[in-house]
Amino acid sequence: MAVASGTAALHAAYAAIGLSPGQTLVTTPLTFSATATTALHLGARVRFADVCEDTLNLDPSAAAAAIDASVSAITAVDYAGHPADIPAIQAIAEQCGAVVVEDAAHAIGGSLEGVPVGAMASLTTFSFHPVKTVTSGEGGAVVCGDARFEPALRRFRDHGMVRAVEHQRHPEEGSWHQEVHALGLNYRMPDILAALGTSQLRRLGAFVARRRALVARYHDLLAGIPGLRLPAQRPGADPAWHLFAVRVLDGRRREVHERLRAQNIGTQVHYWPVHRQPLFEDLGYRAGICPVAESAYDQLLSLPLFPAMTDADQDRVAGAVREILQ
């Protein structure tokens, strides 16, 4: 189901699950804030569980330690495009009757053990924001692995409205009649953006292939640089790389970021752990609750990665990184 943004996709997924006051979402702090804040919009609580040291995806054992009877959703994020271990998260979710959501904003086109991202979790969300692998200008989508969520998803996108006569409570009103059955929003994707998104989607294979080739080249160009740790890839995972997030050791991340910027090479940090955001700080969350994510944050730096990047662009970036660290 196409929606207006990746944030709308998450909000609709959580609404379809029925996340509400008294219930808890368990998720990773190493994500864009919307993964968590959309649960707050529904009045639910958020409990952050730590990430795996290698992939920086939600750690199934940390998620297992975070569940209790109040947990009705667990959201894993495919950090940088590396698919999260959804089968392991699913096994944990079954222990408390929670629904697994995969925030795949980074991972469209990826797969795990041959299963495409979107075909694993009960609900998978995508973003088509301009920085993402496929864009519709702004936009998003929810994929239902579990069809029981579909009616609620479609209603939430469209004001909670029911137009099908057979599902109306008062169909005798007349053929003009439409009913609001639940709280919803206008989260529809505009047709014009859908047309752009549909044409961009045809290029998904080429975009993912170019990103993979650039990542393979980065691994060659940056191998053996002291104080630099390159992203891990687990056996069985076929990531669709959205980010090339390296770790700069020895406290030199800020220096590398600033010296690259001085050479007109833009880098970013993904992410300041969400529980550190003032919104969550004001709700009582404190540093120290997810030590793996927090220490990864201190080192993370996303180097430029985009399909139109040329080999020469990349040689310049890698050469600059090598010169700073060697």
Ligand X SMILES: *Cc1c(COP(=O)(O)O)cnc(C)c1O
| Rounded Cα distance, 308 and 196, in Å | 18
Name the residue nearer to ligand X (CB basis): 184 or 325: 184
Least distance (Å) from ligand X to the CB of residue 242? 8
| Rounded Cα distance, 13 and 142, in Å | 7
Name the residue nearer to ligand X (CB basis): 129 or 211: 129
- Find out whether 71 and 49 touch, Cβ atoms under 8 Å: no
Query: Distances in Å between the alpha carbon of 89 and those of 75, 136, 145, 284?
Result: 9, 30, 15, 26
Q: Is 132 assigned a catalytic role?
A: yes
Helix (H, G, I), strand (E, B) or coil at 249: coil
Which residues lie near ligand X (CB under 6 A)? 5-7, 31-32, 34-35, 77, 103, 105-106, 127, 129, 140
Name the residue nearer to ligand X (CB basis): 38 or 299: 38
Least distance (Å) from ligand X to the CB of residue 6? 2
| Rounded Cα distance, 323 and 266, in Å | 16
Least distance (Å) from ligand X to the CB of residue 177? 33
Helix (H, G, I), strand (E, B) or coil at 85: coil
Name the residue nearer to ligand X (CB basis): 168 or 200: 200
Nearest by Cα to 28 from 52, 45, 11: 52
Question: Cβ contacts of residue 79 below 8 Å, gap of 6+?
Answer: 28, 30, 31, 51, 55, 56, 57, 106, 243, 245, 270
Residue of closest CB approach to ligand X: 6
Least distance (Å) from ligand X to the CB of residue 166? 34
Q: Which of 47, 129, 132, 242 is catalytic?
A: 132
Q: Which residues are catalytic?
A: 132
